[in-house]
Amino acid sequence: MFRACVLRSVENMIEARELTKRYGGRTAVDALSFTVRPGLVTGFLGPNGAGKSTTMRLVLGLDTPTAGSVTVAGRRYDELDAPLREVGALLDARAVHPGRTVRRHLLGLARSHAIPARRVDEVLGAVGLETAADRRAKGLSLGMAQRLGVAAALIGDPGVLILDEPVNGLDTEGIRWMRTLLKSLAAEGRTVFLSSHLMSELELTADRVVVIGRGRLLAETDMRDFIDANSPDSTLLRVPDDESGRMRALLESRGAGVRPDAGGGWRVTGPTATVIGELAREHGLAVHELTPCRSSLEDIYTAMTGEAVEYRGSTDTDDKEVPR
Ligand code: ADP
């Protein structure tokens, strides 16, 4: 359904260089440099207020940098010949005329860029809104509005997609759908850049990650490397209650970090699960559970940003640790 973008993929980089935006005395984006490459999903991670939306607005020419630059395919957004065909964006899913139907909204966008009307049906199919084509925007759930926003972003079949918190308002099935869609768009050679404060979502979706806090770059790396480099290994250990104190003392005498786990048992850092198991055997202690765990992206991010974090919305209820 989508045109193959692989050949033009080298053109589709987003490059920010010392990008800075100040509003009065407040610096929203602070000398930010990063590159977003085609063929990958790149997550843009940061707490609320970190400067993600401002950065995206600067990429899309909706705001002017105080200093520095950001380009798409080597040009500023306002220098692009046919922006909608080159960069698709979803910033605010509710920014649609409430009385307009789904189809009319998309048709209007298509007409404004000389895009054939049949493309409307293609994108409606791509986002699963065929049966809602005649519904008015004001009657859409937030999840449906997000799908409409993605359809609008795709209408010009662009090589670059910029999506601000696209899973907001989606249910579990919708989140899974979005993840699959974004990955397939990247696999076609497109540049997919999406922001989120939902760490667990990016962990599953993104190949690369650009992490910011208070407008500054904290990390720009492969998602896997980011997690591996930053996550202290830990092991969930459960032992019989009456041996628990002995086990803890033994581990601490070997320099291990031991703290109670929220779900019961001990969370041990330092020795590997194998070493813990051997130690227990040497001392004749029973082990009921020994599970190696890796910190989640959320743990790592929280550790990195420390008190810089302004967020912690009610949606941040993701699992703390995931089994390896
Ligand atoms: P995020 O998208 O990561 O939540 P934003 O880019 O929305 O962060 O905001 C970054 C900072 O810039 C915040 O402190 C916000 O209050 C401020 N900010 C954003 N837009 C404006 C504006 N138009 N005027 C003044 N301050 C702004």
Contact 160, 86 (CB under 8 A): yes
Atom nearest to 46 CA in ligand 1 = 3
Arithmetic mean of pLDDT, 142-159:
93
Q: Where are the domains of the chain?
A: 10-222, 232-293
pLDDT at 46 over 80: yes
Mean pLDDT of 81-108: 90
| pTM of the predicted model as reported, rounded to 2 decimal places | 0.77
Q: Is 26 in the pocket of ligand 1 (CB under 6 A)?
A: yes
What are 168-220's pLDDT values in tens digits? 778 888 888 899 999 999 999 999 999 987 777 788 899 999 999 889 998 99
Question: Ligand 1 centroid vs 75 CA: distance in angstroms?
Answer: 24
Mean per-residue pLDDT over the chain, rounded: 86
Q: Does domain 10-222 have CATH number 3.90.950.20?
A: no
Tell me yes or no: is domain 232-293 CATH 3.10.450. Answer: no
**pLDDT given at position 306:** 63
Q: Which residues contact 124 (CB under 8 A, 6 or more apart)?
A: 102, 103, 106, 130, 133, 151
Lowest average pLDDT, out of 240-244, 276-280, 308-312, goes to: 308-312
Nearest CA to ligand 1 atom 5: 51
pLDDT at res. 228:
72
pLDDT tens-digit series, residues 4-35? 444 444 479 999 999 999 999 899 999 999 99
Does residue 49's CB lie within 6 angstroms of at least one atom of ligand 1?
Answer: yes
- Which pLDDT band, with edges at 50, 70 and 90, does 226 fall under? confident
The string of pLDDT tens digits covering residues 285-310 is 999 999 988 766 667 777 776 644 44
Ligand 1 centroid to residue 54 C-alpha, Å: 6
Q: What is the pLDDT of residue 297?
A: 67
Ligand 1 centre distance from Cα of residue 28 (Å): 6
Report pLDDT digits (tens) over 123-147: 999 999 999 888 998 888 888 899 9
- Residue whose CB lies within 8 A of the most ligand 1 atoms, among 23, 66, 214, for a mutation test: 23
CA 27–ligand 1 middle distance (angstroms) = 9
